[in-house]
Structure 1
Amino acid sequence: MLADLNLNRLRSFFLIAEERSLTRAAARLNMSQPSVSQGGNLRLCSPEHASVD
C-alpha cells in the first residue's frame, strides 16, 4: 500500500496532520476538501492501516 504513495499524496497527508484540519490542509494545497479526502489520505490515517513493528 505505501508503494502507491506519490509525492502529492504524501504532501497532502503531511499537511492534514500538520493542520489537524482537512479544510485548512485543502486550502493550503489549493484544492477542494472533497478532492483531498477522496485522494486516499484519510484511508492512510485510519487505525486499521497502522502497523506496529
Structure 2
Amino acid sequence: MDYSKSDEAIEKLSQEEYRVTQRNGTEHPGTGKYLYNKEAGLYVDIVSG
C-alpha cells in the first residue's frame, strides 16, 4: 500500500502525536483515546489518513 505524509498534516500534530507517529514513541499505558472503544470500524493513521 502506498501512502504519503503531507507537511501540512504533520504540522497540525500535537507534540505527543508527533512523538508517537513520527518518532516511534508510545502512549503512556492506559491513556490511549481508544482504550475502551469496542466499536467496529476502520481506524487510519492520523497523518496519512
- Normalized against structure 2, the TM-score is what? 0.30
Max Rg structure: 2
- Normalized against structure 1, the TM-score is what? 0.30
RCO greater where, 1 or 2, for CA within 8 Å and sep 6 or more? 2
User: Which has the larger helix fraction?
Assistant: 1
